[in-house]
């Protein structure tokens, strides 16, 4: 049996029944990680010795019938933006030294450790997670598991590639403008950006309250299980939400019958969507209707907030590098260096004007969700393009935000949003659909996503 093909839920069921052990699962996951690394470059480093030690401890607990928590013995990976105790977190940057104690876990990593998860390693990210593809001066280019000449997306591209290829069923990613949902769409996996504050962050992101942490998994059931572990308050994050009102796993049941779903194929004609993407998403939307949802084709009432997003994003980048010496600045990704320069020219009034746009957008979406439970859009208007490029060749676009118009608005509004894989284009590249709900309704996003998986209507189930 290839344990690398199993979800976390299936692994736990096998541990419980004594069919296989956490050591076997970890060994197979590590072997898979080593095998895929030369071609896709999903990892900054593997933590093999620690992983096997934790797996052996887990195996002993399962033999006693005393698992430590909800994910005891499950192999997981962690994006190299998040702290993992005992190992450097270099954030894709040559400007970060690997020296230091590295004696602290990020909140979500700490919760995984408490629940017995096995850490396989740290996954690749662009420098400080600044863009929607994964390449960096430190660790090179991360490639798509379906076509290595194409990008895996970003900024959590290493996590997406690892999950897609069986190097652990669970990964922790971060999302400041689509960085979970973009690579999930390009790599054909499930990715959830939870409501802001639902999963605590520490250290805080240089991009402020745009950045969320969340699960990247094989399916929605695994994401719900992971959320039950990581969605817990942590005193180090002053903006963390109180405990969730109930279990995310329990909330999966119930399907979509009776839910009011708004389907916006182009955000009111603002986005040019490739035909294969549009067709796959429309088919999945029809499936939601077939499962009993009330679907209406309509658009949320907002214009593209990209300039406000750029103001917040670029100024965050400028603040991050404000005290860098000329030597350190020369080490940066040239694109990052460019937006830092732009951000440094912005003033307080520019920033506050962007905050006004953000608040207006949040108010509009709050009113929108008084009528509709869910908003459904394509996750992206295209499928994976050339690896090593910030934008598709010949597109005329300048920045990654030019091809991600469906994702970053919901970082501005802090809403929960997920990518569900719903098909492929003519080249066999995955297509993702985005499901968005009102703030604090992560349960509805997971429930609708799970309904598609249960009905066999996702890429994974096709």
Q: Which residues are part of the catalytic machinery?
A: 79, 155, 179
Q: Is residue 438 reached through a cis peptide bond, with omega within 30 degrees of 0 on the bond before it?
A: no
Q: What values do phi and psi take at 111, rounded to 5?
A: -65, -40
In this structure, the number of other CB atoms found within 10 A of the CB of residue 102 comes to 14
Nearest residue to 449 (alpha-carbon basis) of 212, 158, 160, 215: 215
C-alpha 20/C-alpha 14 separation (Å) is 6
Q: Which of 41, 459, 398 is nearest to 219 (CA)?
A: 459
Pairing assessment for the beta strands 135-136 and 374-378 based on DSSP bridges: unpaired
Tokens of 111: 């919760």
What is the 3 state secondary structure string of 394-452? CCCCCCHHHHCCCCCHHHHCCCCEEEEEEEECCCCCEEEEEEEECCCCHHHHHHHHHHH
Return the closest-CA partner of residue 124 out of 170, 165, 169, 161: 161
Burial 216-252 (b: 16+ CB within 10 A, else e): bbbbbbbbbbbbbbbbbebeebeebbeebeeebbebb
- Measured CA to CA, the distance from residue 189 to residue 167 in angstroms comes to 13
DSSP 8-state secondary structure symbol assigned to residue 218 = S
Residue pair 422/281 in contact (Cβ under 8 Å)? The answer is: yes
Choose among 70, 64, 358, 2: nearest CA to 224.
70
The three-state secondary structure class of 36 is helix
End-to-end CA distance of the chain: 21
Asked if 66 contacts 73 with a C-beta cutoff of 8 angstroms, the reply is no
Kindly state the tokens that stand for 342: 């732009």
C-alpha–C-alpha distance, residues 336 and 101, integer Å: 28
């Amino acid at each position: 049996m290839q344990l690398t093909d199993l979800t976390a839920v299936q692994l736990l069921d096998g541990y419980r029944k004594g069919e296989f052990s956490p050591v076997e699962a970890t060994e197979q996951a590590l072997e898979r990680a080593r095998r895929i690394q030369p071609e896709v470059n999903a990892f900054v480093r593997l933590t093999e010795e620690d992983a096997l030690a934790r797996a052996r401890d887990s195996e002993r607990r399962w033999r006693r019938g005393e698992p430590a928590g909800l994910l005891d013995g499950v192999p997981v990976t962690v994006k190299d933006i998040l702290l993992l105790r005992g190992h450097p977190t270099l954030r894709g940057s040559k400007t970060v030294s690997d020296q230091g104690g590295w004696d602290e876990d990020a909140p979500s990593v700490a919760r995984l450790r408490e629940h017995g998860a096995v850490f396989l390693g740290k996954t690749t990210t662009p420098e400080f997670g600044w863009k929607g593809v994964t390449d960096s001066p430190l660790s090179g280019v991360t490639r798509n598991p379906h076509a290595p000449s194409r990008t895996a997306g970003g900024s959590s591209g290493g996590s997406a590639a690892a999950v897609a290829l069986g190097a652990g069923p669970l990964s922790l990613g971060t999302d400041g403008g689509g960085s979970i949902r973009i690579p999930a769409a390009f790599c054909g996996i499930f990715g959830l950006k939870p409501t802001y504050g639902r999963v605590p962050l520490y250290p805080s992101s240089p991009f402020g309250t745009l950045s969320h942490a969340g699960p990247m998994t094989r399916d929605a059931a695994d994401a719900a299980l992971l959320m039950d572990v990581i969605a817990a308050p942590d005193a180090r994050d002053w903006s963390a939400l109180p405990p969730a009102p109930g279990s995310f796993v329990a909330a999966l049941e119930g399907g979509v019958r009776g839910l009011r779903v708004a389907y916006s194929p182009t955000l009111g004609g603002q986005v040019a969507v490739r035909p294969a993407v549009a067709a796959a998403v429309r088919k999945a939307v029809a499936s939601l209707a077939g499962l009993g949802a009330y679907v209406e084709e309509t658009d949320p009432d907002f214009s593209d907030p990209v300039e406000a997003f750029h103001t917040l994003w670029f100024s965050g980048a400028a603040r991050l590098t404000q005290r860098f010496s000329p030597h350190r600045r020369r080490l940066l990704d040239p694109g990052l260096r460019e937006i830092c320069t732009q951000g440094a020219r912005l003033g307080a009034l520019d920033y506050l004007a962007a905050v006004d746009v953000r608040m207006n957008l949040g108010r509009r979406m709050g009113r929108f969700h008084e009528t509709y439970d869910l908003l459904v859009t394509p996750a992206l208007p295209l499928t994976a393009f050339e690896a090593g490029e910030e934008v598709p060749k010949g597109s005329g676009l300048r920045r990654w935000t030019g091809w991600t118009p469906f994702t970053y608005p919901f970082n501005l509004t802090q809403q929960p949003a997920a990518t569900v894989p719903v098909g492929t284009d003519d080249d066999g590249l995955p297509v993702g659909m985005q499901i968005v709900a009102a703030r604090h309704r992560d349960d509805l996003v997971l429930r609708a996503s799970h309904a598609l998986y249960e009905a066999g209507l996702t890429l994974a189930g096709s």
